[in-house]
Chain A
């Protein structure tokens, strides 16, 4: 029977949750790296035993960990993220120009085909790549040095590159998202980039439909249709059918279209999930009810999924990297909260149950489906 392994990054360590295909009895391993912020743990699609973890702290900076045995043991690898050349400047909170400064790795995206190749999205926003299993990192600086770079400015969480989408059919295509600059696409393996924000409208910036400056929170793609991307923006749920050349809003009948996480069903490319959050000033679910919303029509028409989720007095948040799906026949959906719960649904969202209730605040959730 297949198994699933859930990789959870939290404010105070990493946890590995495992179950068989029924997904009703769970083993919890951790905390790994106790006391450290674990922004992301992710696995190589090419080698399920190869994991990477971003470990950081305000005291001791960035550490990158690698496991070659599915998270049982770990070893630190390279943690030097040096910007290519003399870093330029970007816009700071007060409107002045501020030098690019490395703070942390937000997101790790292993190559679809090579376990030793992994991309890292960092704050201040840049994309790095390692081709030796994380030992050394080199910036793909065409992104940061894009002509719009000096106008990028940090969102409240920092100027972070938080989403990396690799195209399974076109290895040279990479899509990334940066808060608060927007989405960008490379069609040449990361050498050159173009903003792909046409159709986005953001009321919080001087020009609502500017080329860059949009606070994109998360992108999601189904591997069978890489030209279709779904986006949870600061406000608005969006989709594109042409790889980001144009976007349209699909928020439809959501109770609020603010949120962070978005993901796609493993077998139904038009079935997508979001967790509506009340507003940018109130980062918790509306009415104290934790509801996942599912659209089976690629957006616009949404249904609330509530069975097994708290429907009163719930004021947690679900962060951008904290939702994932498994590949089992009955697709499993998972998300973690800032209250330390990790919820799982083994029936595509119809019913939910907590795997764990009392972890530190969850920053990220990834899922592996294992033979």
Chain B
């Protein structure tokens, strides 16, 4: 299972507590994880990446294994520890604003 940590606002929108666990078909990439996330929680469509382009929204970041993966290609494989569920894929709302 792939573990996904969402920021507070998106947990409320998806009506989930804590981590989300997803069954994702290989290859495990940003795109496949986000596809599975949005399929399970349609309310999240458009909030992490744009509807049409599927580009990451500017103030959203993706972290895993103490690395910022935000600028990695969407179809690049995620770290093995994310694939095995040892580490979560973390969606972050960038620190900004008031």
Contacts and interface: CB of A to CB of B under 8 A. Distances in A.
Interface of A: 33-36, 57-63, 76, 79-80, 82
12 contacts: A33-B12, A57-B9, A58-B97, A59-B9, A59-B59, A59-B94, A59-B96, A60-B9, A60-B10, A61-B57, A63-B47, A79-B47
A63 B94 contact: no
Contacts of B13: 60, 63, 76
B79 interface: no
Which 9 residue pairs are nearest across A and B when measured between Cβ atoms?
A60-B47, A76-B43, A59-B93, A59-B59, A80-B51, A79-B46, A61-B47, A61-B46, A35-B9
A281 to B, nearest CB: 23
Q: Which interface class (under 10, 10 to 19, 20 to 34, 35 or more) fits B?
A: 20 to 34
A60 B9 CA distance: 9
Given A58-B96, A60-B93, A82-B52, 10 more contacts: A35-B8, A36-B9, A59-B9, A59-B59, A59-B93, A60-B57, A61-B50, A63-B13, A63-B43, A63-B47
A121 B66 CA distance: 42
A60 B59 CA distance: 8
A59 B48 CA distance: 8
Given A76-B13, A80-B45, A80-B46, A59 B51 contact: no
A101 to B, nearest CB: 10
A332 to B, nearest CB: 33
Interface in B45-65: 45-48, 50-52, 57, 59-60
Contacts of B51: 79-80, 82
Contacts of B59: 58-59
Contacts of A61: 46-47, 50, 57
A200 B72 CA distance: 52
